[in-house]
Each structure stands twice: as C-alpha cells, then as structure tokens.
Amino acid sequence: MLAHTFFFYFFSIISVGSALMVITSRNTVHAVFFLILDFISIGCLFIMIGAEFLGMIMLIVYVGAVAVLFLFVVMMLNVAEQKQSWFRGREKSAHIPVGLIVSIIILAEVLVVVGGWKYKSNFIKTEMLAVDGNLTNTHMLGNVLYTQYIHLFQVAGVILLLAMIGAIVLTYTKRQGVKTQSYFTQLSREKKTSIKLVEVDSNKGVKIDG
Amino acid sequence: MEPIINVEYITIFSSELYKIVFILVPVLVSVALVVWLDRRIWGAVQKRKGPNVVGPFGLLQTVADALKYIFKEIIIPASSDKAIFILAPVVTMTLALVAWAVIPFSNELVLADINVGILYLFAVSSLGVYGIIMGGWASNSKYPFLGAIRSAAQMVSYEVSLGIIIINVLLCVGSLNLKDIVNAQQDLWYVIPLFPMFVVFFISALAETNRPPFDLPEAEAELVSGYQTEYSGMMYAMFWLGEYANILLMCAMGSILFLGGWLPPLDVYPINIIPAPIWMILKILFLFFLFALVKAIVPRYRYDQLMRLGWKIFLPFSLFYLVLTASFLFYFDKLPTKLF
C-alpha cells in the first residue's frame, strides 16, 4: 500500500510541477519538453489506476505524435527564447490580458458545469461496479465502445476525418513552375530511349536536346 | 492496522531486482557482439575481413572501442542547451533498454508479462524519437538540427504504417499480450499469411531505427553525421549503443509478431528439444543478419522518395491489407473470439 501511495504522489507531484513549468519556463522548447513530461506522468497515473490501455494510448498518441508536432512547430518558428518573460521582467506583454480573459471564461464554464452536476439518486460507487475480472482492460473498453457507444465513436471518427480534410484543403496550394520527378516516366526509361551514340565531326561539336 | 512497510512488497522488489540485472547485462553484451557481427557481415559483403584483430575473431573489438570512448574527453559546446544536451543520449539509451522488460524469451522467461505488451513496445519505440530531437536541438548547430528534423519526420511517418501492421497481427490474435501473440502462432507463423506485412514491417523497422538505406538523419555526405555531430566520448557511445539496442529490439518485435517468437519451426523430436530462448535468439539474429545485409547492399534513399514510400505506398497498402485480413477472418469465421 505504501509503495502505491508513494508512486501516486511521485507521479502527481511531477505532473503538477511540470504543468506549472510549462507555463512559466522562459524557453518555449523547454516548455514543450515539460509538457511531454506531464503527458508521461499522466500516463503513469492512468496505469496506476489500472487503465493500462488508456495509459499506453496516452503515451503513443500524445507523446509519440502530438508533442512531436508541437516540438516541430516551436523549433521551426525559432521562438525558443521568449522575449516577454512577464513573471520575471518588468516588460508588459499584450498577450497577458487576452490569456487572462480566456482563462477566466474557461474557469467560469468549468464552474457552471461542475456546479450544475447532479448525481443520480441510484448512483453506483465505482468499487461496486460489476467488473469481470477475467477480461482485460482493453477487452472491456472495446465491449463498451463498439456496442453501446458505437454511434458516438463513429461520429468522433468522422469529425477527425473532417479535420484532416480541412487541414489538407487549407494548406494545399498548387505551386507553379516546380519541377517534380514523375516516377512513372522515370521507371519506364530504358537504355534505348535514354542513351544515344552520336558521331561527332572534329571541330564541330554536337547539339544536345536539339 | 496496516503495517507501514509492506514486507511482501520488499520481497517482491528484491526478487525482481536481480531479474532486471539478468535481462540488462545480456542485452548490453549482445549489443556489443551484434555491433561486431554487423561490421563483419558488412566486411564480408564487400570482400573485406572486417574487425579481426582484438580478441578471437575480433570479438572484443567493441569492448576496445567502448574503452576508447570512455577515456575520451566529453566536449559540450558552449552555446548548447547543456541540460538537454546531456539528457539526449541518456534518453536514447534508457528507452532502448527499458523496452526489453516485456520481451518474452519463453513461456516463463519474461520480466513483465503485461496485458498491453505490444502497445508498450510501440509506445517506447515511438518515444525513441525524443533522444534524437533533443540531441539535435540542444547542439545549437545547423547540421544536427537538420538531422533531427529529418529524423523526427521520418520516424513519425513510419510509425503510422508500423502501427497498422501491428493491428493486422492483433486482429489474428485477439490479445495485446506478447505471450498470447506467440502462442497464437503455434500452428502457423504469421509470416506466411501476412507475408506482405512482414516485408513492410521489415522496411519500416529499417526506417524507424535510422538504418541504411534510410539513415538520412546521419547522412555523412550532407549532414556531417546529423544529430550526433557535436557529441563525443561516452555520450556518443551511448547514442550508438542505444541505436543498436533499438535495432535488436525491432528484430525481437519482428520475430514475436511474425516468426513465432520462441516456438520451434517444427514441433518434432530433434528440433523441439532445443530450449525456447535459443530459438528466440536465433530468430532475432536471423532478422539482424537481414538488417546487416541491407546495410551493405542497398544505397541510401533520397529524402522525398523516403517520404513517398512511407505515406503513399506503405500506409495505403497496409490499410488495404488490414481490410483484407479483417474480411478474411470475418468471412471464414476465424475471428478470435476466445478471450485470453
């Protein structure tokens, strides 16, 4: 029991601490690395409550894919050293009021949602749920996801597909004058069509591509 | 009242600790041997001898190299991000070793027999990109950075098709546990029905471990040596060890997913008395032999061709094969409904 508690506090302290570091570190790339640390420790917390599938998916999706793209953007934009370190320097940033307003709105929304939350009168405690011990976490998740919530699951898939198509449409521009290799013509080249022996008279030279 | 320190936990901990040592030391030793093997095979293909001076057959060449690296000075560039610069090889090495915890060498011989073993392997191998990005960025120099960006794009791209290949196998097994995956191949190794997927897996594994012909992150002609350019001494050696441990890991993954793990090829008398771990090691070595051969005989890919191969060929093809596998299993009523 002690070990469990110890590891719980270990991971939660790391996750809260790194979440704080995400918003306070001066170097944007460091902020992303702290975000990754946060994701990893949250994944570990998932595994600790027995949700091993969710924990691993957390690692694969967020750390393995999403955070890599974050890093890409941050590194490519070259915004590594933040000019406005509002919590240390005296300079004032124009982003602070906007950020404050957004976070206040989100806080208000969360308050409304949580405040209006009502448990059903026949609310079942989690430890009383009928859980089949023989089934693994993954099987149980699949049993619910593909039967009871199949429509929501598919709607989520369609939304993701829409987002993907939208991103492609927004960024796709047909550039003019770009020379690209046609794999078909490249692979169908043969010795006969690509090599030509030319008799050259002396002191005359020869025109290629004529 | 509960005791403050659970004695049982301590005994479990101490009994697990020696197992960790027993898996890490062989992995590290075999990494050293495998580096030697790689160079010998490479030499043999090119009609050279390869390392043959230090120790019998040159077996101790890697040890000599490692000793040399240990005694070299570690140079940290002045303009680098020091913490991340030092952390990068540590991350690479740790991730390459930590994945071996779930690899089963026989029905009993496995350190952590977890339910989501294959997801764990996939997660750890997808984390491997961070060592490279961190090293490339923290060096604060052009070539390492370009190498890191290339490598990140490459590894993320090939992970997608690798994931779908894994789903192909999982469809046939019905469990994410590595032992179940091997035991499901008792009658037929998946390399036979899923042979195209095995080929795609092998090539994706080459790209995932930055091996030639996909070693663009360290293409010496263009990028000096990519993300490792600024590293020296032991830190370079750690990158190098981590890389080879990752290659071995990919070979182990391939042999578990497709070549039936520790199972003997035929369950008949003279063959099946050979102990299970030997088969597992033989299969890993066979896949590694292929890796080494490819390094010797295939020229480096161009970057746009690499990306095209990943996104436009492997991804659609493995998706198509996924649909094919699913339809086959559904039509012939072979879907694994038995829950492990």
The whole-angstrom distance between A1's CA and the closest CA on chain B is 7
Question: Do A56 and B120 make contact, defined as CB atoms within 8 angstroms?
Answer: yes
Q: Is B116 on the interface with A (CB under 8 A)?
A: yes
Residue A133 covered by a domain:
no
In which band, very low, low, confident or very high, does the pLDDT at B203 lie, cut at 50, 70 and 90?
very high
Mean pLDDT confidence for A58-66: 87
How many domains does chain A fold into? Answer: 2
The pLDDT mean for chain B works out to: 85
pLDDT tens string B3-24:
555 666 677 777 778 888 888 8
Say which range, A124-128, A155-159, B47-51, has the weakest mean pLDDT.
A124-128
Mean pLDDT confidence for A97-117: 86
Q: How far apart are CA B53 and CA B48, in angstroms?
A: 13
In which band, very low, low, confident or very high, does the pLDDT at B339 lie, cut at 50, 70 and 90?
low
pLDDT tens string B279-290:
888 899 999 999
Mean pLDDT confidence for A173-190: 84
Q: Is A73 on the interface with B (CB under 8 A)?
A: no
Q: How far apart are CA A100 and CA A103, in angstroms?
A: 5
Cα within 13 Å of Cα(A82), Cβ side: 21
A147 shares a domain with A77: no
Asked if residue B182 has pLDDT above 80, the reply is yes
Asked if residue B155 has pLDDT above 50, the reply is yes
> How far is the first Cα of chain A from the last one, in angstroms, to the nearest whole number?
85
Q: How far apart are CA B205 and CA B276, in angstroms?
A: 24
Say which range, A90-99, B93-102, B153-162, B293-302, has the weakest mean pLDDT.
A90-99
Other CB atoms within 10 Å distance of the CB of residue B275: 14
Could you list the residue range(s) of the whole structural domain that residue A147 is in?
Answer: 140-168
For chain A, what is the total number of helices (H) and then of strands (E)? 9, 0
Among the listed residues B273, B270, B271, B276, the one whose alpha carbon sits nearest the alpha carbon of residue B255: B276
A145 shares a domain with A77: no
A65-88 core/surface letters (b: 16 or more CB in 10 A; e: else): eebbebbbebbeeeebeeeeeeee
Question: Do A60 and B122 make contact, defined as CB atoms within 8 angstroms?
Answer: yes
Q: How far apart are CA A207 and CA B14, in angstroms?
A: 81
pLDDT tens string A145-167:
888 889 999 999 999 999 999 99
What are A142's two structure tokens? Answer: 């699949």
Chain B residue whose CA is closest to A132: B339
**CATH (domain of A47):** 1.20.120.1200
Please state whether B269 falls in left (phi above 0), alpha (psi between -120 and 50) or beta: alpha
Asked if residue B130 has pLDDT above 70, the reply is yes
The whole-angstrom distance between A22's CA and the closest CA on chain B is 16
Q: Is B126 on the interface with A (CB under 8 A)?
A: yes
The phi and psi torsions of A39 (rounded to 5 degrees) equal: -55, -45
Is the CB of residue B138 less than 8 Å from the CB of residue B85? yes
A184-205 core/surface letters (b: 16 or more CB in 10 A; e: else): eeeeeeeeeeeeeeeeeeeeee
pLDDT given for residue B222 in this prediction: 73
Please state whether A160 falls in left (phi above 0), alpha (psi between -120 and 50) or beta: alpha
Residue A8 covered by a domain:
yes
Partners of residue B145 in chain A, C-beta under 8 Å: 75
Which of the listed residues A38, A59, A82 is the one where a domain comes to its end? Answer: A82
Is the CB of residue B38 less than 8 Å from the CB of residue B48? no
Mean pLDDT confidence for B181-189: 86
pLDDT given for residue B9 in this prediction: 66
Q: How many CB pairs below 8 Å do chains A and B form together?
A: 83
A6-40 core/surface letters (b: 16 or more CB in 10 A; e: else): eeeeebeebbeebbebbeebebbbbbbbbbbbbbb
In which band, very low, low, confident or very high, does the pLDDT at B1 lie, cut at 50, 70 and 90?
very low
CB < 8 Å from B in window 16-55 of A: 27, 29-30, 33, 36, 52-53
Rounded to 5, what percent of chain B is helix, strand, coil? 70, 0, 30
pLDDT given for residue B4 in this prediction: 54
Question: Do A72 and B152 make contact, defined as CB atoms within 8 angstroms?
Answer: yes
Q: Is B69 helix (H, G, I), strand (E, B) or coil?
A: helix
Residue A102 covered by a domain:
no
Residue A101 covered by a domain:
no
Mean pLDDT confidence for A47-69: 86
Question: Do B152 and A60 make contact, defined as CB atoms within 8 angstroms?
Answer: no
In which band, very low, low, confident or very high, does the pLDDT at A127 lie, cut at 50, 70 and 90?
low
The whole-angstrom distance between A90's CA and the closest CA on chain B is 25
- Omega of the bond leading into B277 within 30 degrees of 0 (cis): no
Q: Is B76 on the interface with A (CB under 8 A)?
A: no
Residue A179 covered by a domain:
no
Q: How far apart are CA B31 and CA B242, in angstroms?
A: 9
A27: which DSSP letter? B
Among the listed residues B103, B100, B31, the one whose alpha carbon sits nearest the alpha carbon of residue B277: B103
Residue A127 covered by a domain:
no
Q: How far apart are CA A30 and CA A21, in angstroms?
A: 9
Residue A106 covered by a domain:
no
Q: How far apart are CA A54 and CA B202, in angstroms?
A: 28
The pLDDT mean for chain A works out to: 81
Partners of residue B156 in chain A, C-beta under 8 Å: 64-65, 68-69
Residue A125 covered by a domain:
no
Under 8 Å CB-to-CB from A75, ≥6 apart: which residues?
Answer: A29, B133, B137, B145, B149
Q: Is B88 helix (H, G, I), strand (E, B) or coil?
A: helix
Question: Do B126 and A64 make contact, defined as CB atoms within 8 angstroms?
Answer: yes
